[in-house]
Amino acid sequence: MEWSDDAIVLSSRVHGESGAILELLTREHGRHAGLVRGGASRRIKPSLQPGNGVHVQWRARLEEHLGSFTCELSRARAGEMMDSRDALAGLNAFTAVISAAMPEREAHAQVFTVGVILLDAMMADDAAHWLPLYVRWEAGLLEALGFGLDLSVCAATGAKDDLTYVSPRTGRAVSRDAAGIYANRLFRLPGFLLGNDSDEPHPGEVAAGLALTGHFLLERVLRPHGKEMPPARLRLDAIVLRESE
Protein backbone atom coordinates (compact mmCIF):
# COMPACT_ATOMS: atom_id res chain seq x y z
CA MET A 1 0.00 0.00 0.00
CA GLU A 2 1.28 3.45 -0.87
CA TRP A 3 -0.04 6.98 -1.31
CA SER A 4 1.16 10.60 -1.18
CA ASP A 5 -0.72 13.65 0.07
CA ASP A 6 -0.48 17.16 1.49
CA ALA A 7 -0.86 17.39 5.25
CA ILE A 8 -0.80 19.52 8.40
CA VAL A 9 1.19 18.21 11.37
CA LEU A 10 -1.03 17.65 14.42
CA SER A 11 1.44 16.02 16.81
CA SER A 12 4.68 14.09 16.99
CA ARG A 13 5.92 11.83 19.78
CA VAL A 14 9.20 9.97 20.17
CA HIS A 15 9.14 6.28 19.31
CA GLY A 16 12.12 4.10 20.14
CA GLU A 17 15.60 5.58 20.03
CA SER A 18 15.26 7.88 17.06
CA GLY A 19 11.84 7.43 15.46
CA ALA A 20 8.63 9.43 15.87
CA ILE A 21 4.94 8.65 15.59
CA LEU A 22 3.47 11.45 13.51
CA GLU A 23 -0.22 12.36 13.45
CA LEU A 24 -1.37 14.38 10.45
CA LEU A 25 -4.47 15.95 8.98
CA THR A 26 -4.20 15.03 5.31
CA ARG A 27 -6.18 16.41 2.41
CA GLU A 28 -7.39 13.11 0.92
CA HIS A 29 -6.84 10.56 3.71
CA GLY A 30 -8.16 12.33 6.80
CA ARG A 31 -6.51 12.13 10.18
CA HIS A 32 -3.71 9.64 9.76
CA ALA A 33 -0.76 8.42 11.84
CA GLY A 34 2.49 6.81 10.78
CA LEU A 35 6.07 6.17 11.81
CA VAL A 36 8.82 8.55 10.72
CA ARG A 37 12.20 6.85 10.93
CA GLY A 38 14.73 9.29 12.33
CA GLY A 39 11.89 11.67 13.21
CA ALA A 40 13.44 12.52 16.59
CA SER A 41 16.74 13.58 15.02
CA ARG A 42 17.91 17.20 15.00
CA ARG A 43 17.65 17.28 11.22
CA ILE A 44 14.05 16.09 10.89
CA LYS A 45 12.39 17.03 14.19
CA PRO A 46 11.97 20.78 13.44
CA SER A 47 9.89 19.92 10.35
CA LEU A 48 7.48 17.81 12.39
CA GLN A 49 6.20 20.56 14.69
CA PRO A 50 2.42 21.08 14.98
CA GLY A 51 1.01 23.47 12.40
CA ASN A 52 3.69 22.88 9.78
CA GLY A 53 2.62 21.88 6.30
CA VAL A 54 4.27 18.78 4.84
CA HIS A 55 4.04 16.66 1.74
CA VAL A 56 4.07 13.01 2.78
CA GLN A 57 4.35 9.57 1.31
CA TRP A 58 2.85 6.71 3.30
CA ARG A 59 3.80 3.05 2.85
CA ALA A 60 2.58 -0.11 4.56
CA ARG A 61 2.27 -3.77 3.71
CA LEU A 62 -1.45 -3.77 4.56
CA GLU A 63 -3.92 -0.87 4.70
CA GLU A 64 -4.74 -1.45 8.38
CA HIS A 65 -1.08 -1.23 9.45
CA LEU A 66 0.41 1.90 11.05
CA GLY A 67 2.82 2.26 8.14
CA SER A 68 5.63 4.75 7.72
CA PHE A 69 5.84 8.33 6.46
CA THR A 70 8.52 10.12 4.54
CA CYS A 71 7.99 13.87 4.87
CA GLU A 72 9.06 17.00 3.03
CA LEU A 73 8.40 20.37 4.66
CA SER A 74 6.18 22.53 2.47
CA ARG A 75 5.04 25.33 4.83
CA ALA A 76 6.88 26.27 8.03
CA ARG A 77 4.45 27.85 10.48
CA ALA A 78 5.33 26.55 13.95
CA GLY A 79 8.23 28.91 14.67
CA GLU A 80 6.28 32.10 13.96
CA MET A 81 3.13 30.95 15.77
CA MET A 82 5.04 30.09 18.94
CA ASP A 83 6.00 33.75 19.26
CA SER A 84 2.35 34.77 19.72
CA ARG A 85 0.25 33.74 22.73
CA ASP A 86 -3.01 34.03 20.81
CA ALA A 87 -1.76 32.20 17.70
CA LEU A 88 -0.29 29.41 19.82
CA ALA A 89 -3.59 29.04 21.70
CA GLY A 90 -5.44 28.86 18.38
CA LEU A 91 -3.01 26.31 16.95
CA ASN A 92 -3.26 24.13 20.05
CA ALA A 93 -7.06 24.27 19.98
CA PHE A 94 -7.10 23.43 16.25
CA THR A 95 -4.85 20.37 16.57
CA ALA A 96 -6.56 19.13 19.76
CA VAL A 97 -10.07 19.40 18.33
CA ILE A 98 -9.10 17.51 15.17
CA SER A 99 -7.39 14.75 17.16
CA ALA A 100 -10.40 14.38 19.46
CA ALA A 101 -13.25 14.82 16.98
CA MET A 102 -12.21 13.47 13.59
CA PRO A 103 -12.36 9.73 12.97
CA GLU A 104 -9.10 8.20 11.79
CA ARG A 105 -8.60 7.80 8.05
CA GLU A 106 -11.90 9.44 7.12
CA ALA A 107 -11.31 12.00 4.38
CA HIS A 108 -12.74 15.51 4.72
CA ALA A 109 -10.91 17.63 2.17
CA GLN A 110 -12.85 20.81 2.97
CA VAL A 111 -11.86 20.62 6.65
CA PHE A 112 -8.23 20.44 5.52
CA THR A 113 -8.55 23.24 2.97
CA VAL A 114 -10.14 25.70 5.39
CA GLY A 115 -7.69 24.57 8.06
CA VAL A 116 -4.78 25.67 5.84
CA ILE A 117 -6.41 29.09 5.35
CA LEU A 118 -7.01 29.37 9.11
CA LEU A 119 -3.43 28.52 10.08
CA ASP A 120 -2.01 30.94 7.54
CA ALA A 121 -4.29 33.65 8.98
CA MET A 122 -3.00 32.88 12.48
CA MET A 123 0.54 33.60 11.29
CA ALA A 124 -0.47 37.22 10.69
CA ASP A 125 -0.90 37.52 14.49
CA ASP A 126 -4.24 39.34 14.15
CA ALA A 127 -6.60 37.44 16.45
CA ALA A 128 -9.52 39.72 15.61
CA HIS A 129 -9.25 38.44 12.03
CA TRP A 130 -8.63 34.71 12.54
CA LEU A 131 -10.84 33.99 15.57
CA PRO A 132 -14.11 34.36 13.59
CA LEU A 133 -12.56 32.13 10.92
CA TYR A 134 -11.76 29.57 13.62
CA VAL A 135 -15.43 29.52 14.69
CA ARG A 136 -16.49 29.08 11.05
CA TRP A 137 -13.98 26.24 10.72
CA GLU A 138 -15.50 24.43 13.73
CA ALA A 139 -18.98 24.93 12.25
CA GLY A 140 -17.67 23.38 9.01
CA LEU A 141 -16.17 20.49 10.97
CA LEU A 142 -19.58 19.82 12.56
CA GLU A 143 -21.17 19.81 9.11
CA ALA A 144 -18.52 17.47 7.71
CA LEU A 145 -19.15 15.03 10.56
CA GLY A 146 -22.90 15.06 9.93
CA PHE A 147 -23.91 17.43 12.72
CA GLY A 148 -24.18 20.74 10.90
CA LEU A 149 -26.08 23.69 12.32
CA ASP A 150 -29.19 24.80 10.42
CA LEU A 151 -29.01 28.60 10.40
CA SER A 152 -31.10 29.19 7.26
CA VAL A 153 -34.54 29.88 8.78
CA CYS A 154 -36.23 30.15 12.16
CA ALA A 155 -37.11 26.71 13.48
CA ALA A 156 -40.37 27.99 14.97
CA THR A 157 -41.75 30.30 12.27
CA GLY A 158 -39.76 29.69 9.08
CA ALA A 159 -38.76 33.36 8.99
CA LYS A 160 -35.39 34.25 7.46
CA ASP A 161 -34.95 37.62 9.15
CA ASP A 162 -33.67 38.63 12.60
CA LEU A 163 -32.17 35.21 13.37
CA THR A 164 -30.46 35.83 16.70
CA TYR A 165 -30.45 32.55 18.62
CA VAL A 166 -29.80 28.82 18.19
CA SER A 167 -31.58 25.99 19.98
CA PRO A 168 -29.14 23.94 22.11
CA ARG A 169 -31.25 20.87 21.44
CA THR A 170 -31.73 20.98 17.67
CA GLY A 171 -28.95 23.26 16.39
CA ARG A 172 -31.52 25.28 14.43
CA ALA A 173 -31.78 29.06 14.31
CA VAL A 174 -34.49 30.95 16.19
CA SER A 175 -35.67 34.50 15.49
CA ARG A 176 -35.78 37.18 18.17
CA ASP A 177 -39.59 37.26 18.24
CA ALA A 178 -39.94 33.48 18.36
CA ALA A 179 -37.44 33.18 21.22
CA GLY A 180 -39.54 35.35 23.50
CA ILE A 181 -39.23 34.47 27.18
CA TYR A 182 -37.02 31.47 26.33
CA ALA A 183 -34.17 33.57 24.95
CA ASN A 184 -31.99 33.00 28.01
CA ARG A 185 -32.12 29.25 27.37
CA LEU A 186 -30.78 29.60 23.82
CA PHE A 187 -27.33 30.23 22.38
CA ARG A 188 -26.62 33.62 20.85
CA LEU A 189 -26.15 33.46 17.09
CA PRO A 190 -23.34 35.86 16.09
CA GLY A 191 -23.98 37.67 12.85
CA PHE A 192 -20.68 36.61 11.27
CA LEU A 193 -21.94 33.01 11.10
CA LEU A 194 -24.74 34.29 8.88
CA GLY A 195 -22.38 36.24 6.66
CA ASN A 196 -23.27 39.56 8.31
CA ASP A 197 -19.64 40.54 8.79
CA SER A 198 -19.18 43.86 7.03
CA ASP A 199 -17.62 45.01 10.29
CA GLU A 200 -15.03 43.05 12.25
CA PRO A 201 -16.82 40.92 14.90
CA HIS A 202 -16.15 42.09 18.46
CA PRO A 203 -14.81 39.65 21.10
CA GLY A 204 -18.29 39.12 22.58
CA GLU A 205 -19.57 37.77 19.26
CA VAL A 206 -16.55 35.49 18.92
CA ALA A 207 -17.09 34.21 22.47
CA ALA A 208 -20.73 33.48 21.58
CA GLY A 209 -19.61 31.63 18.46
CA LEU A 210 -17.11 29.51 20.40
CA ALA A 211 -19.78 28.66 22.98
CA LEU A 212 -22.15 27.62 20.20
CA THR A 213 -19.81 25.38 18.20
CA GLY A 214 -18.19 24.07 21.38
CA HIS A 215 -21.54 22.91 22.75
CA PHE A 216 -22.37 20.85 19.68
CA LEU A 217 -18.86 19.45 19.34
CA LEU A 218 -19.07 18.28 22.93
CA GLU A 219 -22.63 16.94 22.95
CA ARG A 220 -22.84 15.45 19.46
CA VAL A 221 -19.27 14.40 18.67
CA LEU A 222 -17.16 13.96 21.79
CA ARG A 223 -19.36 12.76 24.67
CA PRO A 224 -21.06 10.00 22.63
CA HIS A 225 -17.54 8.51 22.38
CA GLY A 226 -16.69 9.04 26.04
CA LYS A 227 -14.56 12.16 25.43
CA GLU A 228 -14.55 15.65 26.94
CA MET A 229 -13.58 18.97 25.40
CA PRO A 230 -9.77 19.14 25.02
CA PRO A 231 -8.08 21.46 27.56
CA ALA A 232 -6.45 23.39 24.71
CA ARG A 233 -9.90 24.34 23.38
CA LEU A 234 -11.01 25.44 26.87
CA ARG A 235 -7.92 27.66 27.12
CA LEU A 236 -8.90 29.39 23.87
CA ASP A 237 -12.38 29.99 25.34
CA ALA A 238 -10.82 31.56 28.44
CA ILE A 239 -8.63 33.93 26.40
CA VAL A 240 -11.56 35.14 24.31
CA LEU A 241 -13.83 35.54 27.35
CA ARG A 242 -11.25 37.70 29.11
CA GLU A 243 -10.96 39.93 26.07
CA SER A 244 -14.75 40.26 25.80
CA GLU A 245 -15.22 41.51 29.36
How does pLDDT run across 15-42, given as a tens digit for each residue? 988 899 999 999 999 999 999 998 888 8
The pLDDT of residue 83: 87
Domain hosting 102: range is 80-151+189-244
The pLDDT of residue 244: 77
> Does 167 have pLDDT greater than 90?
yes
Residue 171 lies in a domain: no
**Long-range contact pairs involving 100-103 (C-beta distance under 8 Å, separation at least 24):** 100/222, 100/227, 100/229, 100/230, 101/141, 101/145, 101/217, 101/221, 101/222, 102/25, 102/30, 102/31, 102/141, 102/145, 103/30, 103/31
Angstrom distances, CA of residue 71 to CA of 18, 22, 62, 237, 238: 15, 10, 20, 33, 35
Residue 209 and residue 141 share a domain: yes
The pLDDT of residue 197: 64
Report how many domains make up the chain.
2
Given pLDDT bands bounded at 50, 70 and 90, which one contains residue 198?
low
Given pLDDT bands bounded at 50, 70 and 90, which one contains residue 88?
very high
The pLDDT of residue 64: 87
Residue 94 and residue 45 share a domain: no
Of 80-84, 184-188, 216-220, minimum mean pLDDT range: 80-84
Residue 127 and residue 24 share a domain: no
Q: pTM for the whole thing?
A: 0.94
Residue 199 and residue 53 in contact, taking contact as beta carbons nearer than 8 Å: no
Q: Which residues pair with 161 in a beta bridge?
A: none
The pLDDT of residue 124: 85
> Does 63 have pLDDT greater than 70?
yes
Residue 62 and residue 96 share a domain: no
If you average pLDDT over residues 202-226, what whole number do you get? 96
The pLDDT of residue 165: 97
